[in-house]
Amino acid sequence: MKYKHVILIGIDGAGNFYRNTSAKAIRKMFSEGAGTDRCLTVYPTESAQCWGSMLTGIYPEKHEMTMESTETTSYQKRDEYPTIYRIIRDAIPDAVIGSFSHWNTVNTRIADDGIGITKETGQDPPLADMICEYIEKEKPTFLFIQFDSIDDAGHGYGYNTPKYLEQLDIVDGYVGRIRDAVARAGIEDDTLVIATADHGGIGGGHGGNSPEEMTVFFVAVGKTVNRGAEIKLEVKDIPAVVAYALGIGTDRNWDAKLPDNLFIK
């Protein structure tokens, strides 16, 4: 394995608006790693479609998850298009896998049941505490994190507004705390940390195909990351990044592709 641990931090509704605030932790990741402010998400820019693609490596027309379907129905295409959780479990039977999400749908409808995933749901502040404790105690092979309060601020105050950016800085602080927990756990040298978003927003909503909604940031930090490189990728490619980092194969049905210059090979 190239890395023993991968931590994927997803910030719902963050787009690439970190550029308009201090975002010290995200900016530090860019200075220490590689990424882009022009990562494309999927259309429509709704959470079910976007997180669905990020966790399955395929476009929405294949995974067929929608906001409406995930209210009542678990992901139905998991045999044909397995999640990254399943890919990791099959490749690394003793992997420690976690899914910590403010938006409970990730855990109840997308993340597989019965394969030993530790699932936790909560508001962002206590969730951040649980995440840091989990990292230090369990040293997970793969941990997916979803923070949701920025998207709430976007809907409540408008995206890219002062109140929204204030909340973005708060969640950025959680990103910093997570990296500190990785260091305290003694696994920093063997961990790839990724931070990204599912979609952005415009006005008080999202779902369309405007640049403000479709364009998100992506940044990765790790020992083999091609530091300072400008990366070209889409949200649906992230499972390929995770699989490569852990030294396991991707699914042949995935649309996900590994970015050419993210890692030093």
Average pLDDT over residues 108-117: 97
Query: What CATH code is carried by the domain that includes residue 202?
Result: 3.40.720.10
Q: Please indicate, yes or no, if residue 9 is contained in any of the structural domains.
A: yes
Q: What percent of the chain has pLDDT over 70?
A: 100
Residue 250 has pLDDT above 90, yes or no: no
Averaged over 215-238, what is the pLDDT? 97
pLDDT over 70 (residue 1): no
Question: What's the rounded mean pLDDT across residues 59-83?
Answer: 94
SS3 141: coil
Q: Number of folded domains in the chain?
A: 1
Report the alpha-carbon distance of residue 7 to residue 141 in Å, rounded: 8
Residue 20 lies in a domain: yes
- Asked if pLDDT for residue 165 goes beyond 80, the answer is yes
Residue written as token pair 């309060």: 149
Please indicate, yes or no, if residue 85 is contained in any of the structural domains: yes
265 to each of 225, 259, 260, how far by Cα in Å? 9, 12, 10
pLDDT in tens, 192-219: 999 999 999 999 999 999 999 999 999 9
* Torsion angle of C-alpha atoms 148, 102, 86, 69, degrees rounded to 10: -80
